[in-house]
Amino acid sequence: MTRRDLIRYASSSLLLASLPKSLAGRTTTPAGGKARLFFDLEEIPQIRANARSTLLAPTLRLWKQRTPEDLERALATFESSGDIVRHFATILNLLTEISVAQLIDPQASRRDALLSGIQRLIGYEKWDYFLDGDQPIGIQRASMATVRILFAREVLDAEIDAAFDKEILKAVADKGCLPCYRAVYGMDHPDTVIGWSFDEKHEGFYDLSMERWPMILGDNNLRSAPSSALGIGAIALLGQDPRAEEWLATAEASFDRVLRLFSSDGSYFEGLSYAGYTLRTALNFFDAHARNLGDIDWIKKANFDGMLDFIATMQAGQNEDGTPDIVNFSDARNSVYSCVPAWIGKRTGNPLGQFEAEKLSLPIYFLDFLWYEPGKPSSPPPKALENVRNNLDWVLCRSGWEPQDAVLAFRSGGPCNHEHADRNHITYKIHDERLLTDLFGAAYDRRHSGWEMRKTKAHNSVLVNGMGNHYHDGAEGTNDSKSYAAITQFEDHGDTVWWTSDASAAYLIDNDHITKVLRTIVFAKPDIIVVLDQVQLHLGAQPMSLRFFPDNRDGLAELSFDNEQFTIRRPQATLHGSVHCKTETAIAASRLDVTPETGDFPFIEISKAPAFSHEIVTVLRAAPTGKKPRAVNIKPSPNGWQARAGQLKIDIDTRRTTPAISLL
């Protein structure tokens, strides 16, 4: 027995010995028979009604088009390639989609395809491409396989005979739960890990070191999926596998750590996409746990109402195809799936959950059919969420939640997994156009040109002597950096709101000349943004610059400049910028230096020559195409700057450590 096995054995024995009576000795499910993990038989009529709803009917129509031949081709492709990352995932997605279609509209051909597909899947040597030493561990694919196979098994129900069911559960235990247990245990006890790695087939997938991955993954979204699969599989195996009790206790304890990843106000440090991944996998386990055991009130363990607020505040209208657009800080790309707010709304009684499930989410996940129910009470986000500084020190301000409304987002705060070097970075969307955007598609691998998109130079922020926030070299992947920024003031006056963020610490790590990097924003809704940037240095004078990137994924952004003015044009709206400084500045249009296949990312750059002190005010005014923007007059004052837009008068006193803003 290895040292790692001894430690694991001792820890597990202590864990089981210390379990309360409600946990210890759970060798059977409460019903004394086959656990229902996803739905009860009496829920099937409601699930079928859910599937007929306006929200879910389009997805069901698509999934009903999946054929047994599609699944057969996917199985054959994987068996030829051995690609667990892509081709194995394709099988699991098809298996799930056909399972949903079978649950709603049973057909013999689908039944036979599912039975055959499960038989093939459980015969594969392993379900994941991660190893600890030479032992498989489960992160994403083994966890996905465990859950999806168990879901298909539950859909088929009596179509699976006892002998085949025993085979399925053995594969779930040995190829799903055990690898997931190794992963979660390694996160909890990094000292027992031999060394995580990719297997030989997938070792070139990324260029990185996994030495610290048990600790890194243990504190981000990738803890949730293996914990959920471990717990769901353990519930299925209670009374049938002697390891199930320990696995279930491990999963329960792990989710105490998962829920602590959410701030006390419900915000999530990795962004909305990763909050969604964390929640949909966590809630899957919570639902199965409540359905079968019910001895833990998961809803009391975190601020689930706050999570609904976070989902609402991170919205940014709609994409061109009508799906929800979001504030995409870091690597976040998509909104949550409808099942997440639907589940939370039902358990908290918060009608915002129903609104988000129907209006602010993606109805394309198998749990949507189980948890969303049409006709539940629904309420839109409250006005209090229009101007928010959350616990992450992110600021999110808007004029509403309609596609044409304005959304201004600002990234301050600390580091996180999947982050970019984006402190003091802003995004702005109005009239259904991303006039200032967070670029989509940054590479996960430092070998690719798209890695440059993670750096400050690819954001709407400040460069000092060509340098931005500290960022790591990607040797461990997309883990957190050492960059910190902090909001030093936040004033909410309804339609006019302002704040200041100090990002000095984020710049100082790589530039010891820095003494101050402040950005102050005044947002006069919905169409005027005043940006004040202040930089101070010692040891030597250095230049500074500001960059402003529009969305150009469709190649339709147009940039122009003249003297101290610039414009950013999108098809439906234009951003008019003017630069104000007590010393000379230069304006230019350029493009991010990346390979053509990475993308085309034009930007406006405002530059100042070397100095010990820099202060630039940029006034941004938005207007729909063909209309003039609101006039803004700005001029220096003895104390700093004064701006006027109609009846709105703003005084900015820059003599203080944090600029003082007042409405005149």
Q: Mind listing the pLDDT tens digit for each residue in 516-533?
A: 999 999 999 999 999 999
224/302 same-domain check: no
First to last CA, the chain: 76
437/361 same-domain check: no
5 assigned to some structural domain: no
- Quick check: bond before 636 cis, omega within 30? no
Query: What integer is the mean pLDDT of 528-554?
Result: 97
254/352 same-domain check: no
Position 493 pLDDT exceeds 90: yes
Question: Per residue in 333-353, pLDDT tens?
Answer: 999 999 999 999 999 999 999
The DSSP-derived string for 335-358 is --BTHHHHHHHHHHT-THHHHHHH
**pLDDT at position 13:** 43
332/438 same-domain check: no
568 assigned to some structural domain: yes
Structure tokens at 442: 């940054």
Instruction: Print the domain residue range for 311.
Output: 262-385
368/399 same-domain check: no
The whole-angstrom separation of Cα 454 and Cα 443 is 8
289/242 same-domain check: no
Question: What pLDDT band is residue 415 in, cutting at 50, 70 and 90?
Answer: very high
Task: Choose the final residue of a domain: 228, 261, 294.
Answer: 261
Position 19 pLDDT exceeds 60: no
Specify the pairing of strand 407-411 against strand 394-398.
Answer: antiparallel
**pLDDT at position 282:** 98
439/541 same-domain check: yes
Position 470 pLDDT exceeds 90: yes
The whole-angstrom separation of Cα 209 and Cα 629 is 51
Question: What pLDDT band is residue 664 in, cutting at 50, 70 and 90?
Answer: confident
Q: Which CATH number covers residue 571?
A: 2.70.98.70
Structure tokens at 488: 């030093």
516/649 same-domain check: yes
Position 32 pLDDT exceeds 70: no
**pLDDT at position 605:** 98
Question: What pLDDT band is residue 26 in, cutting at 50, 70 and 90?
Answer: low
Percent of the chain surpassing pLDDT 70: 95
Assign 530 to helix, strand or coil.
strand
Task: Choose the final residue of a domain: 385, 411, 428.
Answer: 385
**pLDDT at position 293:** 96
**pLDDT at position 543:** 98
The DSSP-derived string for 112-131 is HHHHHHHHHHHHSS-S-SEE
Task: Choose the final residue of a domain: 359, 385, 411.
Answer: 385
Phi, psi at residue 613, to the nearest 5°? -140, 130
185/253 same-domain check: yes
Cα angle value 624/627/629 (rounded, 5°): 85
Question: Per residue in 97-110, pLDDT tens?
Answer: 999 999 999 999 99
579 assigned to some structural domain: yes
286/246 same-domain check: no
Q: For the ranges 27-31, 89-93, 127-131, 442-446, which has the lowest average pLDDT?
A: 27-31
Q: What's the mean pLDDT when you consider all of the chain?
A: 94
Question: What pLDDT band is residue 33 in, cutting at 50, 70 and 90?
Answer: low
Top-confidence residue, 436 or 27: 436
Number of folded domains that form the chain: 3
**pLDDT at position 16:** 44
Top-confidence residue, 380 or 10: 380
Is the CB of residue 393 less than 8 Å from the CB of residue 425? no
238/268 same-domain check: no
- Find the Cα–Cα–Cα–Cα dihedral 120, 125, 127, 128, rounded to 10°: -150
Position 490 pLDDT exceeds 80: yes
473 assigned to some structural domain: yes
14 assigned to some structural domain: no
**pLDDT at position 10:** 43
**pLDDT at position 207:** 87
Position 25 pLDDT exceeds 50: no
Query: What integer is the mean pLDDT of 410-420?
Result: 96
Position 20 pLDDT exceeds 90: no
**pLDDT at position 15:** 46
Query: What integer is the mean pLDDT of 545-549?
Result: 98
189/232 same-domain check: yes
528 assigned to some structural domain: yes
**pLDDT at position 3:** 40
